Amino acid sequence: MSKNIVTKLLHTRMRVSHLDETIDFYTRVLGLEEVRRMTSPRGARLVFLRAPQSEEEIEIAWFPDAEPVQVQPDLIHLAFAVEDMEVFAAHIRSLGVEFSDGPTRLSSGNTIAFIDAPEGYEVELIERTKEGK
């Protein structure tokens, strides 16, 4: 068996009930870039997003006739690196967004915090120190 059966993570899909609100959150609050939009063969509207220094994408999917999304607590979250948690905190406060938990300094020296995205998805922010990498 080849050791390189899977070679790269390309994207993670998240289904949402409110496409425009979700895209606004990820682009305005987190600064992700919209890469492309398309409609899937099953009729879903898809929007692909990427963090500026990442290759992996997040696929946001909205199905017009689907039941509303109900995200279970602590089921899934996305984690993003931030250069400076205090600068990030000031940025989100200016947009009317607050941390749902943290910031918390870990024994590794890293600082973590969480915010809630639309639909109830949780987003983790991590400020890494040289010691915590």
- 3 part of a folded domain: no
Same domain, 117 and 75: yes
Q: Return the pLDDT at 2.
A: 63
Question: Does one domain contain both 78 and 132?
Answer: yes
Task: Let me know if residue 2 belongs to a domain.
Answer: no
**Mean pLDDT, range 16-20, rounded to an integer:** 95
Encode pLDDT of 65-122 as tens digits: 889 888 888 788 999 999 999 999 999 999 999 999 999 999 999 999 999 998 889 9
Closest CA to 13 of 121, 99, 125: 121
Cis, bond preceding 41 (omega within 30 deg of 0): no
C-alpha R_g of the chain: 16
* pLDDT 10s digits, 36-49: 999 999 999 999 99
Residue 46: domain span: 9-64
